[in-house]
A and B are shown apart, each in its own frame.
Chain A
């Protein structure tokens, strides 16, 4: 069965990767789901200058896990670049908020026909405007739970940690009710 690739954006990666280890490049469930980031995320995570809530991203275990990316051919690369031009222009003229890498995630998702996981309001709106598949982190956690890739205790721990460090997804309350009404 072919893999069902899912792209996780920066925020979603930072919200999950410290607890669900390794987060990326591990197939799970009957659907052979497999999570990916884009190579550009690694550039984004490097060279920080200020104290961060996410110092663990520099640990070997995590940097190693971030070395796997979706394979794309030359034609797909060109198509992704074309998509990006349209998406980034729309950000600049109509929807300020997402960064260049955010826009690139949507460009990949469109070309590969795979969903992107994000909790960012503007990035979600951007995905919708271009008819890219998009889901919040808690929906991904629901898929992981349904695939026995993680359990409720872990999920509760993650959500509690988000609350503790003040890094909650935009629609945490709504999404919890929707995907984990028992939590």
Chain B
């Protein structure tokens, strides 16, 4: 990030306040030459003098300083239902991205070669089927086998993406997964909240994998592709075709709902993914879509209740879990180098728990426990 003074704003504020360069210099206890250099953009004030200068001119940071960041971290969220993304969500994730830059030198990836990515990702149905089929082959699954999140993990490493497993709780949060791409190092960091049900988690992982395969996309286009890719991967065309027939063969709405739930149970995915993929297939081949009554949403809620959150399934009762066990279990389950990178960076640079808190966004006491374990 390159910083420079907003000379126009600074000069105007000085003029409005009747301040000469000499007066500024006296007020800030610096030389007149120093002030002159600042205003000619030949030097930039030290942090204390910059703040004092701003106070003197009554300018805020954004009015006095121009921040240029050509390689700003690129952010994509997997939002919680109903959450709206605001500027502060993006800014906070970018702040995390700036801290992550310091971990890049410790990455174990090949820095000479680009990972394999899609040439022209798009949401065409047949194209998505081809991509899903290719990825299934790469993770050694046939077209009908159930995708487990462990199948997806290795693909993240191969795509040089770092998985960051975190405990963000179940409430009061805008997102359950964040994808941070650092353009300068061409590295990708995928934050996954473990405090979610297994079906959502699996979908988000597949969604994030979609992002990793399509770094050329951004904004809504990227989100739409990642969503469509996740659906196609978890419930491919051949399964959707069969499911459409099975569901249609049921006469009552309740029986149709039960069938969707049964299929979801078998594939260990959300019933919403099943229905979504079935209807995409139906639309693609020109058949009527399946319409279910509102009772479907109640059935989905009951379905979800039967399953523990991933954190409980993977880690047990986390209040009893110490940082060592958390790191050990997540490192082995997700094959992630994240905590090792963090360990090496913290030790070599003598950094405190504040750094851990910013790069994990976990509660302070958890960040402290992790810091204490890593150092």
A residues contacting B by CB (< 8 A) are 10-11, 14, 44-54, 57, 79, 82-83, 85-90, 92-94, 96-102, 110, 120-123, 129-131, 166-167, 170
Q: Do A129 and B366 touch (CB < 8 A)? A: no
Q: Do B46 and A46 touch (CB < 8 A)? A: no
- Closest CB-CB distance, A127 to chain B, in whole Å? 10
Q: Do B47 and A53 touch (CB < 8 A)? A: no
B58-66, B253-261, B265-273, B274-282: which lies at the interface = B58-66
Q: Do B351 and A97 touch (CB < 8 A)? A: yes
List 13 other contacts, CB 8 Å, given A53-B369, A86-B47.
A47-B363, A48-B365, A49-B362, A49-B363, A50-B321, A51-B319, A51-B321, A52-B368, A54-B368, A100-B358, A122-B354, A122-B355, A166-B372
From known contacts A47-B363, A50-B321, A50-B369, infer whether A122 and B351 are also in contact, taking CB-CB under 8 Å: yes
Inter-chain contacts of A94 with B (CB < 8 A): 47
Residue in chain B with minimal CB distance to A92: B98
Inter-chain contacts of B319 with A (CB < 8 A): 49-51
Q: What 9 A-B pairs are tightest by C-beta distance, nearest first?
A: A85-B61, A99-B354, A44-B364, A48-B365, A49-B167, A51-B322, A120-B352, A86-B51, A98-B354
From known contacts A49-B167, A50-B322, A82-B61, infer whether A96 and B365 are also in contact, taking CB-CB under 8 Å: no
From known contacts A50-B322, A86-B51, infer whether A92 and B1 are also in contact, taking CB-CB under 8 Å: yes
Inter-chain contacts of A11 with B (CB < 8 A): 352-353, 368
CA distance A88 to B51 in the complex (A): 12
Q: Do A123 and B320 touch (CB < 8 A)? A: no
CA distance A101 to B350 in the complex (A): 19
Q: Residue A46 contacts which of B95, B326, B350, B363 (CB distance < 8 angstroms)?
A: B363
CA distance A102 to B364 in the complex (A): 11
From known contacts A51-B320, A82-B54, A89-B61, infer whether A102 and B362 are also in contact, taking CB-CB under 8 Å: no
